[in-house]
Structure 1
Amino acid sequence: MLNVKDIVQKQFEEINHWHKQIMINANSLPMKFVQENNHWNFLLWHEEDIARIPDIEPEKMLAVKRNIDRYNQSRNNSIEEIDEWLLTFLTSKKLNQSKALHSETPGMMIDRLSILNLKLYHMQEETTRQGASLLHKAQCEEKVIILKEQITDLSACLTDVLSRLEQGKLTLKIYRQFKMYNDPDLNPQLYTKIPR
């Protein structure tokens, strides 16, 4: 079904490579959706960094905000695509009949692993940053250890969830995000066009 170790390794390798050149090359399912999720998180991460520039020009900030909204919507779509693929797989094997649920879907957990891998990459960068103090580097090295532990723990949890799904001991539902602010039919600021 899905190999969590492979997913985590691929996420980190992609993040490392994409800092030099972004290349999207996964074409088999569900890894295509997993890579897309990682890609949207990668783009979001860097837009969020730009958004924190204190003296950013208003026009630039507006463009960044629009990018963040678009990337976040795409990120949520990719989570749902991962879960839809899994649900189709489980249904075809008649493995989705349990009543037991988990509080997070596998897609949500894969998304969290992607974000943790981004944190790990950037925290590791801080351990060798030119001009940073020895104290800063040492503190970042401690955080790298914690992030690796968090990735290991979440990977084990995801492996367990996938195993229980595959054994029919757990069921999967798709939890739609329903991002109302992006929908012109659901955001009152868009459909009423209130003058300011």
Structure 2
Amino acid sequence: MTTRDRVVTGGVALGARAGRLNSFLSATGKNVEQLMPPWGEAIWHEFIKITEELFLQNDEQWRLEDIAHTKGIRVDKLGETKRLIDQSNSLRIGRIDQIDQLIAQLANEQTGRRPHVHLSETVGEMIDRICILLLKVEGAVDPEARDLAERKFKHLTRSLDLTLFAILEGRAVLPPSGNFKIYRPLKGESDD
């Protein structure tokens, strides 16, 4: 099964909504396939699977945010929903990190050229933004907002292709991946 076949037949969980995501992944796979090392096929399949999961996680998080913003929501329901949003966000960040780990495997095997492209965001972060843009395109009521989301989506997917080319050609310096949270007590809380 080729990369393109996996994208087209994958995404069963996404159902009818998978079309746009799979089209994007298929085009990206086709674009980078010529540079993919033979051992990279398995990594690419995993990349696609995690990207689909990330899209679904973003969709779930947006659904939860809609519930949290419901007018007249009970305080207990709001608290429960916010906890679910935190859990969803944690899963989303985990998937971004998984994508970055896969890309790092590809990048670590590329040698021979002096890297000269310093990336400002990780591939996982780019994929997360692409998933969010797809949700914005899908949910936009205003035609101007939808058009803007479409244009940003096209721009970002092209940027992703160029980023993957640079990584696979050994020309990219990946930014540090991983996440951390810093919690600071509110003023007055530490005075106990």
Q: TM-score, normalised by structure 2?
A: 0.70
Larger RCO (alpha carbons 8 Å, 6+ apart):
1
How far apart are the structure 1 equivalents of 2:67 and 2:100? 31
The residue correspondences of 1:67-86 to structure 2 (distance < 5 A) are 67-86=84-103
- Residue aligning to 1:129: none
Q: Do residues 166 (structure 1) and 168 (structure 2) align?
A: yes
Alignment equivalent of 2:121, drawn from 94, 104, 107 = 104
- Shift of residue 152 of structure 1? 0.5
1:56 is paired with a residue whose SS is coil
- Distance in 2 between residues matched to 1:96 and 1:81, nearest whole Å: 26
TM-superposition CA deviations, 1:112-154 (whole Å, max 9, x none): 000000011111xx3xxxxxxxxxxxxx122211111110111
User: Structure 1, residues 146-194: CA drift from partner, whole Å, max 9, x if none?
Assistant: 111110111111111111111111122442111356xxxxx879xxxx9
- 2:48 maps to which of 31, 55, 58: 31
- 2:31 aligned with 1:14, yes or no? no
How far apart, CA to CA, are the structure 1 residues paired with 2:76 and 2:65? 16
Of all paired residues, the percent bearing the same amino acid is 26
- Tell me which protein shows more helix as a share of its residues: 2
Structure 1 runs of 4+ with >2 Å offset: 13-18, 92-100
Secondary structure of the residue aligned to 2:129 is: helix
Paired letter, 1:42: D
Give the C-alpha shift of residue 28 in structure 1.
3.6
- 1:14-163 to 2 correspondences below 5 Å: 14=14, 16-17=16-17, 28-94=45-111, 98=115, 100-123=117-140, 126=141, 140-163=142-165
Change (3 A) 1:108 1:97: farther
* Count of equivalent residues: 158
1:97–1:47 CA distance, 2 compared to 1 (3 A): farther
Structure 1 residue runs without a partner (length 5+): 19-26, 127-139, 182-186
Please report how far the alpha carbon of residue 14 of structure 1 lies from its aligned counterpart in structure 2 after TM superposition: 3.1
Question: Equivalent residue of 1:44, what SS?
Answer: helix
Tell me, in whole angstroms, the C-alpha distance in 2 between the residues paired with 1:180 and 1:15: 38
Q: Partners of 1:52 and 1:44 in 2: how far apart?
A: 12
| SS of equivalent residue, structure 1 residue 76 | helix
RMSD between aligned alpha carbons? 3.2
Give 1:98 deviation, angstroms.
2.2
Length-normalised TM-score, structure 1: 0.69
Does the 8 A contact of 1:30 with 1:82 survive in 2? yes
